[in-house]
Every structure is written in structure tokens, then in C-alpha cells.
Structure 1
Amino acid sequence: MKKIIVSVGTSIFDNCLEKNSSSLKIKEDLEGKPFSDWSYFSEEIESIRKTVSDRMRGKKNPSAEIKSITKIRAKEGRDVEAHLLATDSILSVLAAELIKAFFDEKKLGIKAVFDKEKGNVVKGLLVDDKERFENEGLLNLLDIITVISGEKFEDTVLNITGGYKALVPYFTIIGQVYNLPVYYIYEDTEELIEIPKLPVEYDYSVIEDNFYAFEEIKPEKDKKNLPDIKTFIRNYSEETYTKLLNERLIHENSDKKVDLTVIGRLLYKKYKSYIDEDKNNLGNLKGELVEMKLYEYFATKYKGNAVHSYEAKEEQKGDYEIDVLVDPPGENMIAVEVKPGGNAPILYNEEMSERRKKKTIEYKITKGGFKKLAEKAPDTDFRVYLYSEKELHKKVIENIKELHEKHPEETKKLKWYHIKLPDKSIVSIIKWKIGDNAVKRVEF
């Protein structure tokens, strides 16, 4: 069933309460009151609920949310679920309950979903508290949207007709990043407008280059274990901290810890889904280019004795792949793996998808291509080349060290190198040629 995620505003009160009425005066007194004060104003709330409920019965579209949901249902031509999201205010919650009651009574093929006690109220989403709105409310909003739609954001549309206007750009960004239709109806018009999905791809290089930093502050992380600024800088450099801060991907939260902003969380989750499913096309292209450049480097150095993308067992294609296999005359064979330095999958864990797990160096030396080749040709030397525009993060070095300590036998003949790229652009890499000055042995 198609899911419509709806931000709920207060237009239902403007449409159903008469000017200068006592109910309108009560509504005005409740404006800006947080949802936490609900029980304190229970009598006033029930008074407004009764007045609005009575007046709704004589109206076809008593609110902007109802009109737009009905229009989307007609456009879909099938039953839909309307998930109503209320801001952290009494009036938005009451409006959502009234909208749900309307659809429950009318039986229009629209199942309205709202429960103020079970996650439909977005905590911290109050426009009169800018810091809480940005650093708590928007993060909670993204989490709730993800729960409703599922991690893959399938069969979901966003309806931004109602609710705070400050939410419009964030809903629009979410729609663009996750390729979701975004609908709205402008004021008193009847036409349902869809914000077009632009045929663009986001540049995730800042996340790829600093993947370990993002992993340390990822959304699933226990907030108590987030690093403070000093620790973050020690692990990932002041340059990294400043860059991510200036690009509004991270911030210092109320506990003085480094945390993701809503944009940082949004892009991290999208990038994570890409690498879990091996769909990061731009990143894959860069990796393939570096692979070819390294092949060219070895072919020149050893006069053509290099084989690209060797696989030890064709029947298990991918599991036993070797990026570059070098067979220099009179020397040991060299098996090479090429990985991005910013998000090099060195160790695997149970949280990883099977696809990503098989791409780790740990898998490669214990079950994959390196292991199988070592069984066939025990004298083979194994190398991992990590590429990036800047020096490797401290966390990468720590993971390399941990891998060697964890698997001392399998890593005896494993060496690590860093390839410093000219810059991040694909064009520069295409024109570039790897020289000995660009390759450096990694010590740990």
C-alpha cells in the first residue's frame, strides 16, 4: 500500500473556527504550547475538539492536509496509508487527531495513521527554539520518516502541504536524495503539484573520504559514546573537523559531543546504502580508474608482466577476485587489492551486509582471493593499495594494526601502501600517471 507521509499544521482551526469566537481565543492561547503541556490544557483541548469536529461535518475539505491527501489518493487510484506527523506542539497533535477521525468516519480508501503516544509526534520540532529544532527535531523527523517508509524508502510519497513552512526545504531534500515524490497544494488552489525529481547524483566524496569519522558518530551510535571535539580532532585531524563543520554535516550537540546534523545523517545513510549494495557509481568509477592506473604502473615497471582482475575460481566469481596480479621475472608473484583510503573496509562485523563483508581485507585473507591464491602459490606476496587525496586517518592505521594482530599467520606476507591522488576529480585521475613519488609504504 502506498504510504503518504504528511506534515500536519493548524489550518483546520483557521477553517473551522469563527472569528472572534471563544474557541478561536482558546486556540490562540494554545499557540506555541509544547505537547508536553497536553494534560495541563486538557479541558481547553476537548472544548476545541468538539467545536471543530462539529464544523468539519459540513465541509468537504476542512483542512489543507485533508484536501491534499484526498487528491494524492485520487492520483494513485488505490487505497493509501496517510501517516500524520505532528510537530511538538499541542495544536499540531490535536489537528492530527481530528484529521484521523475525519478519515476514519468518511471511509475514502484512506487509512489515517496517528498515535500521539507511539512515535507520530516529532519531539523537538518547535520553530521557536532554533537550536532544538535543528539539532533534535529534524533528526527525529528523519528517523520517523525512515521507520515509516523503511530503510529503502520504497512506495512512499511526501506531502508538505501542511505544517511548518520551515520543514519544506528539508522534506524536499529528503525527497531528492531518496528519489521520493513530493506533493503540495498551494493555499486555496485545487491543483496538486509535484516537485520534480532532478536527474542529479550527489557528490558523496566527503563521506567516502571521511567514512571512519562518520562511522564513529553514526545514528545508531549510543550518544554516550560519541567523541568530544578534542577526541574527534585527535583521531581525524582539525582540518577534517573544520571541513565537516563548515559543510554543516556535523555539530556539537547539547552534551558537548560531536554528532551528525540532519543533512549529515541523511547523506551518510544514503551513502551507506550505496556501499552495502555496491551502487556508489561515482566511487566505483574512481576505484576502477585507480585500479587501471596501478595496472599501468606495474606493467611499466615490470615490462608488461601484470594481469588485471584475476579470479582464482570462475564458478564463484567475485569472491576470489584479485584486482591486479603481477608476475615479475625471477621474483615472487604479487597479488594486489585496491581500496579507497577514506572508507577502506579492513575488518568486518556482524552489522555489515554480506556483500560489503566480502569486500573487506579480513575476508580476503581468511576466505577470499588472497587465501585461495596463497593455497595455490604459497610464495605470493600480498599488497593492499589505499588511495586518497590526503594522508590516511589514524583510525585506518589502527584497523590495519588490529587486522595483523587478529590474524598473524594470514598477514605475514601482507604489506600496505598509500597512493596519493592528485585531487578528487575524475578528470584529474584520468590524465594522471602513478609515479614512485605517489606511492608510500604504510607503517603501523
Structure 2
Amino acid sequence: MIKVITTVGTSLFNNYLESNRDIENPLKHFKNKPFREYRNLAPRARQVKEKVTPWAAKSIEASAEIKSLHKIQKKLAESLDVYLLATDTAISALAAEIIQDRFAGIKDFRVNFNLGHDVIGGLQVDNYRLFVKTGLPNLVKRIEKIADSYFGNVVFNIAGGYKGVIPYLTVMALINNCDIYYIFEESQSVIEIPKVPLEINYSVFAKYSEEIEQLENGIEKYAKEKNKNYVTFSELEKTGLVEQLEGDMAFLSPLGYIFLDKYRRNYFEFYCSDEVWEEINKQRDIQRILAEKFNEHIIRQSKTETKGVHRVYDDGNNPNRIYYFEYGDNVYIYKTFQDEEAAREFIKTPLKREEVIKNAKKRKWVLANV
């Protein structure tokens, strides 16, 4: 199935109101309401759904999202695994739920929408600072999660949703070599923006990794920080990676988050001590496993066994073993073996987690054949 990233706007309600006025009263309560108030609006949401859902089921013209999805499926002639992404507003979440219900049971469509995952926190039009700091980073993370780090079967449908997001989704699609689809509501044909090779100089992310991490977390007194490291931050500004906001705040720019996400997917980040790092750099098989298998969460979990107090990655019918644990979102590797007997003997060794964490440093391994 083709995964289709689809942002959701409010054209569904605008189109309905062109010929029907019976939802005006309940719908007005959704105006300018953030998503956090959505559950309090449940009775009015039901009123809107009762009217709009059966109406939407009768026509593919009901909304930009519905129309474009039908056109994309016809063009690709494949089943679609659709992921609806709503802005951080009550009305966008309501539209997404109705669109999901509208496609229920229709052949060649699996439409996904989960209020807990697919309403993108901070993605709204009223607070640009919140959009930069939280909204766009959350959007990038959600799309990355949906793609599961593989964009070969992903397309972007930008027909609906908040138009301010379209430039960023377009760039994200291009750097991940994905097709983009758009449709004008008055048009009967879907517009395809094909894959275009887009070269990005990612060396800046390696060269200034610490400063980029500072921007990712937000710098409160940016002028002072820039004066301490003028050359670096000046270069980052020239490359468009710095977003300066009121109150002397600076963050990684929206495009910066998209480029950083792509850059990080070229590497597997983990933590280990200098001693373990030196050992890995001597072990060709362990290097290959890190690059091709261990970095993938699903593969790592499927090949991990509990041995005493240890979690051990067992590569199968070979002597390669990796002793590790996960703490938060981080992976800590504390011993690697290319000798099965030595690996088995290590099981008897006690695990000193706090010591491992204390002595560990962040490492990066290129995700390519070694």
C-alpha cells in the first residue's frame, strides 16, 4: 500500500454550508477553539457529524481531502494507506474524524486518524512562536513516525490543511524524494509534483552539532550567546537555520528541523564509553550490524534476548552479540562481541547501569554498508 500523508483543513464545512445551514449553530462553537477543548464539545460534534457525514458519503466533491484522495487512488491504481493530520484546533480534528468515517469500508482505502497521535500539537495559525518551537517539529516527528524512516512508499497530499504548512511539507517531500499531489477544488484533475533531486549540504549539521542542538532546545538570550560564538551563529543564520523571535529568543528554523530530521536518518545515534567505541571500530561485523540491522528498532527488539540481568542482541547463527539497554529514547551499548563463547561468559558479569550512563558519550554511525 502507498502511504499518503494528508493534512486536514475545513473545506468540508465550507462546502457543506454552501447549500445547508443546519450546522451553523453547533459549528460556531468550534471557531478559534484549540484542540484541548475538543472533548468538551462532544455533544455539538455529534450534531455536526450526524448531518455532514451522510452528506459527505454521497460525493467525492465534499472536501479537498476527499476529492484529492479519490483522484490520487485512481491515478496510482493502488490501495492507499491514508494518514490524516489535523492542526491543533477543535475544528480540524472534527473534520478529520468525519473524513475517516466517510471512507470506512470503501475498497482501496485505509484511512487512519487517532486523536492522540494525529492532532499535531502547536500546529496553528495564531501563535507563530508556538508554530516554530512546537508545531512544525511535532509535524516532522509524526511524519517520520508514520514513514518509519522509509519514504520509498510515501506520497504527500497537500490539497487540504493549513496553507502555511504547504511550503514546509513540499520541502520535506522533496528532500525525501517523495511525490506531491495537489488539487484545486474547482479542477477535476490532480496535479502531481514529481520527485526532483534536491542536494542539501549537510556538513553544517556535523560541523556545528552542539550549536544546532542549542537552537533545537531554544536559546533565551541569543544576542549574548551569539557574541560568544559569533562566527558559528553568523554562518548558521546565513544558511537559514536560525529563527529569531521577539524577546531575544532563537530556535532552529522550521526548514532547519526538516533538514536536521533528514540528516539524523543518515546516522544511528547511540551512547557508549571510549573503551567500547574503540572496540567497535575494530569489529567489522559489529559495524555492519549497527549500520544494517541494530539501528532499526523493530529488528533490534526481535533479535534481543534477556540473559540474566542483561539484554543481548543476538545476530543469529553467528558469534556476534551486542549488550545494551535503552534509557528514555537513547540506546546505551556497553559490550560487543565477535566471539560467542566470550559473549556467553559475559552473562555472569553484573550490570552497572549508572556507571555505563556516566561514562558514555554520544556516538554516530553512518547508515550504509561498511
- TM tier, shorter chain? 0.5 to 0.7
2 CA distance for matches of 1:61 and 1:91?
19
Identical positions, percent: 31
CA contact (8 A) 2:175 2:197 kept: no
Match of 1:261 among 241, 250, 253: 253
Q: Cα–Cα, structure 1 residues 252 and 151, in superposed 2: closer, same or farther, change >3 Å?
A: farther
What's the TM-score once normalised by structure 1's chain length? 0.56
Structure 1 residue 259, shift from structure 2 partner: 4.3
1 CA distance for matches of 2:149 and 2:129?
27
CA contact (8 A) 1:139 1:261 kept: no
Q: Which residue of 2 aligns with 1:199?
A: 197
CA contact (8 A) 2:9 2:161 kept: yes
Matches within 5 A, 1:409-428: none
2 CA distance for matches of 1:137 and 1:39?
21
CA contact (8 A) 1:2 1:79 kept: yes
Q: Which residue of 2 aligns with 1:111?
A: 110
CA contact (8 A) 1:81 1:111 kept: yes
2 CA distance for matches of 1:90 and 1:149?
26
Moved more, 177-186 or 22-31: 22-31
2 CA distance for matches of 1:218 and 1:191?
40
CA contact (8 A) 1:9 1:92 kept: yes
Q: Which residue of 2 aligns with 1:69?
A: 69
Structure 1 residue 350, shift from structure 2 partner: 8.7
Q: Which residue of 2 aligns with 1:243?
A: 235
Q: After superposition, what is the alpha-carbon deviation per residue over 1:164-208, rounded to whole angstroms, capped at 9, x for unaligned?
A: 111111111101111111101112111111113333312334334
1 CA distance for matches of 2:149 and 2:221?
30
Q: Cα–Cα, structure 1 residues 187 and 59, in superposed 2: closer, same or farther, change >3 Å?
A: closer
SS in 1 for 2:103: helix
Q: Which residue of 1 aligns with 2:30?
A: 30
Structure 1 residue 209, shift from structure 2 partner: 3.0
Structure 1 residue 258, shift from structure 2 partner: 5.9
Q: Which residue of 2 aligns with 1:188?
A: 186
Q: Which residue of 1 aligns with 2:41?
A: 41
What's the TM-score once normalised by structure 2's chain length? 0.66
2 CA distance for matches of 1:349 and 1:165?
51
SS in 2 for 1:30: coil
CA contact (8 A) 2:6 2:65 kept: yes
CA contact (8 A) 1:213 1:236 kept: no
Q: Which residue of 2 aligns with 1:333?
A: none
CA contact (8 A) 1:207 1:271 kept: yes
Structure 1 residue 89, shift from structure 2 partner: 0.9
Structure 1 residue 215, shift from structure 2 partner: 5.0
Counterpart of 1:71, as a letter, is: K
> Which ranges in structure 1 are unaligned for 5 or more consecutive residues?
220-225, 278-346, 359-444
> Which protein has the larger Cα radius of gyration, Structure 1 or Structure 2?
1
Structure 1 residue 251, shift from structure 2 partner: 4.3
Q: After superposition, what is the alpha-carbon deviation per residue over 1:43-96, rounded to whole angstroms, capped at 9, x for unaligned?
A: 222111111123223324321111111121222222121000011111111111
Q: Which has the higher contact order (CA 8 A, sep 6+)?
A: 2
Q: After superposition, what is the alpha-carbon deviation per residue over 1:27-52, rounded to whole angstroms, capped at 9, x for unaligned?
A: 24422211111133222221111111
The number of residue pairs the alignment matches comes to: 280
Q: After superposition, what is the alpha-carbon deviation per residue over 1:99-158, rounded to whole angstroms, capped at 9, x for unaligned?
A: 1111114x22100000112x1000111112222122211111111010001223231000
CA contact (8 A) 2:120 2:135 kept: yes
Q: Which residue of 1 aligns with 2:54?
A: 54
Q: After superposition, what is the alpha-carbon deviation per residue over 1:403-424, rounded to whole angstroms, capped at 9, x for unaligned?
A: xxxxxxxxxxxxxxxxxxxxxx
CA contact (8 A) 2:4 2:81 kept: yes
Correspondence 1:13 to 2:13: yes
Q: After superposition, what is the alpha-carbon deviation per residue over 1:268-306, rounded to whole angstroms, capped at 9, x for unaligned?
A: 2323334669xxxxxxxxxxxxxxxxxxxxxxxxxxxxx
Q: Which residue of 1 aligns with 2:263?
A: 271
SS in 2 for 1:83: strand
2 CA distance for matches of 1:94 and 1:163?
13
Q: After superposition, what is the alpha-carbon deviation per residue over 1:247-280, rounded to whole angstroms, capped at 9, x for unaligned?
A: 4423478998864333212212323334669xxx
Structure 1 residue 163, shift from structure 2 partner: 0.6
Q: Which residue of 2 aligns with 1:129?
A: 127
Structure 1 residue 213, shift from structure 2 partner: 2.8
2 CA distance for matches of 1:137 and 1:188?
30
